[in-house]
Amino acid sequence: MSQGFNVAVAGATGAVGVEMVKTLEKRNFPVRSLKLLASSRSAGKTAKFHGTDVVIEEMTPESFKGVDFALFSAGSDISRDYRAAVVKSGALMIDNSSAFRMENDVPLVVPEVNPEDARLHHGVIANPNCTTIIMLVAVAPLHRAKKLIRLVAATYQAASGAGAKGMAELAEQTRQLLNGEAVHPAAFAHQLGFNLIPHIDSFQENGYTKEELKMLNESRKILHAPELMVSCTSVRVPILRAHSESLNMEFAEEVTPEEVRAILSKSPGVIVMDDPAQKIYPMPKDATEQYDVLAGRIRQDISRHDKRGIDMFVSGDQVLKGAALNAVQIAELFV
């Protein structure tokens, strides 16, 4: 028998599931056998893995027998429904949904930031929200050096955050609008083509959305910084793929843009793109299909009387580092 691990991908036909399979292949993850699991609608279809057709199976509680790693991207309800079966089978569930992120006994892991937390699992490890991952890959090294105490973020989130259907709707709306046709939003609350929607996920009593509060709660958990203050405004933008974020950061110690660039240039998973004179800065088109988070527009916050504030702009591929890649990297911690 060949060396390696038995891997299952749950939600294998979705945008993130497809990228999980591609990422396992591109990173040469040691796969002995691969199970692709989806709903009954997709059962019987095939997908390529290292040039071989793999038949997609209908997911059942028995699907995880003999599986070492179960990568889930099938939605919170399905993750909750299958958690017991996966853990009972002895597989490690790496879940991309929001179902378990804030449970005390479920590690919330970004491998570049808190890999040690992964070892504390009880059968389940959670993938953070995509915007949290992209932000913390660039912010965590600064926090370790200078201690972040407050962060104000505005996110510019691509259609890919709503999955394949969101990307398809944006592409179709763009065509319709250019041809003078009427549009009929379904994946989003409003027309996304040539528009911005300052509304992602459901609104809460305090006026923030769940998406915005994830940035606060997940950052505190991942950084082990319960007193960290975060305020976020999440905006859906007419970009197919890759999220961007404008970050205003306040640190406990003084810090200069030169120090920030020096720290990030040595940080895993970050590429510094910061030369405004040459028009070099992060953009979603450059982050698309890239593993690393792009960081730039690094400058001193001139609204402060001290030098404890930094502004920065980041872009990262929501489907990869924000989801599929991060999940595979978590599995790699155990290889």
Q: Are residues 92 and 41 in the same domain?
A: yes
Separation CA 41–CA 49 (nearest Å) = 21
318 touches 160 (CB < 8 A): yes
Q: Are residues 117 and 151 in the same domain?
A: no
Provide the pairing of β-strand 293-300 with 243-251: unpaired
Report the pLDDT value the prediction gives residue 2, as an integer from 0 to 100: 53
Output the domain CATH number for residue 30. Answer: 3.40.50.720
Separation CA 158–CA 283 (nearest Å) = 12
- The helix (H) or strand (E) run that includes residue 195 is none
Q: Are residues 13 and 122 in the same domain?
A: yes
Separation CA 312–CA 182 (nearest Å) = 38
Report the pLDDT value the prediction gives residue 322, as an integer from 0 to 100: 97
Q: What residues make up the domain containing 311?
A: 132-318
Number of domains comprising the chain? 2
Question: Quick one: CA dihedral 101, 104, 107, 110, positive or negative?
Answer: positive
pLDDT surpasses 60 at 191:
yes
Residue 240 in tokens: 């197919």
Q: What is the largest CA-CA distance in the chain?
A: 65
**Residue 157 identity (one-letter amino acid):** Q
- Write out the catalytic residue numbers: 130, 243
Q: Are residues 178 and 288 in the same domain?
A: yes
Picking from 333, 328, 312, the residue whose alpha carbon sits closest to that of residue 270 is 312
Q: Are residues 211 and 93 in the same domain?
A: no
The total number of residues shown for the chain amounts to: 335
pLDDT surpasses 70 at 285:
yes
CB hemisphere CA count around 278 (13 angstroms): 6
Q: Are residues 149 and 294 in the same domain?
A: yes
Q: Are residues 233 and 214 in the same domain?
A: yes
Output the domain CATH number for residue 192. Answer: 3.30.360.10
Q: Mind listing the pLDDT tens digit for each residue in 114-132?
A: 999 999 999 999 999 999 9
Separation CA 15–CA 86 (nearest Å) = 22
pLDDT surpasses 80 at 1:
no
Q: Are residues 235 and 268 in the same domain?
A: yes
Rounded to an integer, the average pLDDT of 37-50 is: 95
Cβ within 8 Å of residue 175, ≥6 positions away:
none
User: 223 pairs with which residues across the strands?
Assistant: none
pTM: 0.96
Q: Are residues 276 and 234 in the same domain?
A: yes
Q: Are residues 48 and 153 in the same domain?
A: no
Q: Are residues 94 and 232 in the same domain?
A: no
The angle subtended at Cα 109 by Cα 131 and Cα 159, nearest 5°, is 25
Report the pLDDT value the prediction gives residue 3, as an integer from 0 to 100: 80
> Any alpha helices (H) in the chain, and if so which ranges?
15-26, 76-89, 130-146, 163-178, 210-223, 257-265, 284-287, 325-332
Q: Are residues 253 and 173 in the same domain?
A: yes
Picking from 260, 24, 232, the residue whose alpha carbon sits closest to that of residue 140 is 260
Measured between its terminal Cα atoms, the distance across the chain in Å is 18
- The helix (H) or strand (E) run that includes residue 65 is none
User: What is the band of 135 on the pLDDT scale with cuts at 50, 70, 90?
Assistant: very high
